[in-house]
Amino acid sequence: MTPAAPQTKLLAADIMAANLADAEAILALQRLAYQSEARLYGNGSIPPLTQTLIELRAEFATLLVLKAVSGESIIGSVRAGLGPEAGLCRIGRLIVHPDHQRQGLGSALLRAAEASFPAARRFQLFTGHKSAGNLRLYQRLGYLPVRSEAVSPELSLVFLERNAERGGEEIEKQT
């Protein structure tokens, strides 16, 4: 069971827990939001673009899925869950509609995901090595690179962590 998400208000968007009825809209937004990543890496088959509705619905059983809603539209989302290491919260698929990017919504979604797991001692996420905007955002929010993992000759994943007590300080780099 996942914890209840705090409600946050930002720029006429409400952040709250999503439910299975939201899965189709979240998947459509995910496919739209990841188009820029697909272009950046020259690969239209990245996992966020090939994920099925069945796969996304299955994530609701193990992850907290948050949504940002403006009016009747879902304009952002993020997923988070504990484990497998004790005290570790993994955060992923942070998405914001392209028309609402660079307005603080991504930061608010990330902070809401973190706040939903008060027992976590560390938060971890990853992004592609060419995703400069994502890397800047995460580092601005206290995340520090801890390791890189080559996926292909064109793509390395950069894993970043933030220490819950120290806002990102004193995270040991893993080799």
On whether the CB atoms of residues 105 and 138 are closer than 8 A, the answer is no
- What is this structure's pTM? 0.87
Whole-number mean pLDDT of the chain? 90
User: Does residue 150 form part of some domain?
Assistant: yes
What is the domain-level CATH number for residue 102?
3.40.630.30
Domain that holds residue 46: 8-163
User: Does residue 173 form part of some domain?
Assistant: no
User: Does residue 172 form part of some domain?
Assistant: no
Q: Count how many domains the chain has.
A: 1
Instruction: Note the pLDDT tens digit of each residue in 21-56.
Output: 999 999 999 999 999 999 999 999 999 999 999 999
User: Does residue 170 form part of some domain?
Assistant: no
User: Does residue 171 form part of some domain?
Assistant: no
User: Does residue 44 form part of some domain?
Assistant: yes
